[in-house]
Structure 1
Amino acid sequence: MYKLHKSFLGTGWGFPPQFDNQSGNVAMLSDSEDIRSSLEILLSTRPGERVMLSDYGCHLDELLFEPLTTTMKTYMKDLIQTAILYHEPRIEVNKIELVDTGEVEGRILITVDYTIRATNSRFNYVFPFYLQEGTEIK
């Protein structure tokens, strides 16, 4: 019998979903790992992809192929801040930083420094955002 881990920060399926071959149960994430996974899913989901939550997600896909100007960086930070504000109430964002050292390769690292409200624990999450589609996929 599957025993559910009870966590006051939440417990959810890992992404992508994985199953234990012996028990047949779904691999679950709890606490800070669940929040980290939730941020990854939130930032990589386009609004409208989820049928029951059509406003869930972040509009980062609209920024593909855009020049990386100061205005674009500010807009990108605002999109991320707003998505987290509406869809991840367990955390408070302290700072969002864009590291564009991989701009030539079409990559920006988005660093989200956040505090978990219930435990007052600080974490950061780095999300790789690619400005261009993969061209050398094999």
Structure 2
Amino acid sequence: MNTEKSFLGRGWSFPPEFQKETGAVKMLEDEADIKSSLEILLATRPGERIMLPEYGCNLEELLFKPMNLTLKTYVIDLIKTSILYHEPRIDVNKIDIDAADELNGVLMINIDYTIRTTNSRKNMVFPFYKEEGNEL
């Protein structure tokens, strides 16, 4: 078992998985851990985590709002603020919102960021949408 510590971070994969061979929890390290952390941050509503009630980005409240420049600016500010407070390993360079598929209720949020420790630039596309509940 590799117990070497990653200097960018190491955490459980989400959703949690266990390896069949060893029974150990599947772990993510470095850039994969940061990307997973961003996905979890953007998909979490404030108040969902009992021990961290401020954690999250409240994108769900904006689901049925009309898409205009004001809303796009608000979403960008909401994401930047959430990352500033809850993901200290990165600096956000730019956030773009692509509303090309807005008639189907899809926003593509493109986050361009720099990892502070390694000074490497990365980007992530977060698809924000609401699926119908017909496959329950």
Q: Tell me whether the two structures share a fold, i.e. TM-score over 0.5.
A: yes
- Is 1:134 paired with 2:132? yes
CA offset at residue 53 of structure 1? Answer: 0.4
| Residue 21 of structure 1: how far off its partner (Å) | 1.1
Identity between Structure 1 and Structure 2 (%): 60
The 5 Å alignment of 1:50-69 reads: 50-69=49-68
Map 1:14-93 → 2, pairs under 5 A: 14-93=13-92
Secondary structure class of the residue paired with 1:34: helix
- 1:6 offset after TM fit, Å? 1.0
What is the match of residue 7 of structure 1? 6
* Runs of 4+ that moved beyond 6 A: none
- The TM-score, its normalising length taken from structure 1, stands at 0.94
How much does 1:4 deviate?
2.5
SS of the residue 1:59 aligns to: coil
Cα distance change of structure 1 residues 135 and 19 upon mapping to structure 2, 3 Å threshold: closer
When normalised by structure 2's length, the TM-score is 0.96
CA drift at 1:137: 3.5
User: How far apart, CA to CA, are the structure 2 residues paired with 1:65 and 1:91?
Assistant: 30
Deviation at 1:133, TM superposition (A): 4.3
Q: Please tell me the residue identity of whatever aligns with 2:64.
A: F
- Structure 1: state its 5+ residue gaps: none
Structure 2: state its 5+ residue gaps: none
| Alpha-carbon distance in structure 2 between the residues aligned to 1:133 and 1:24 | 33
SS in 1 for 2:95: strand
When the two chains are superposed, the root-mean-square deviation of aligned CA atoms in Å is 1.2
Q: Give me the whole-angstrom Cα distance separating, in 2, the residues matched to 1:77 and 1:97.
A: 8
**Residues paired across the two proteins, number:** 136
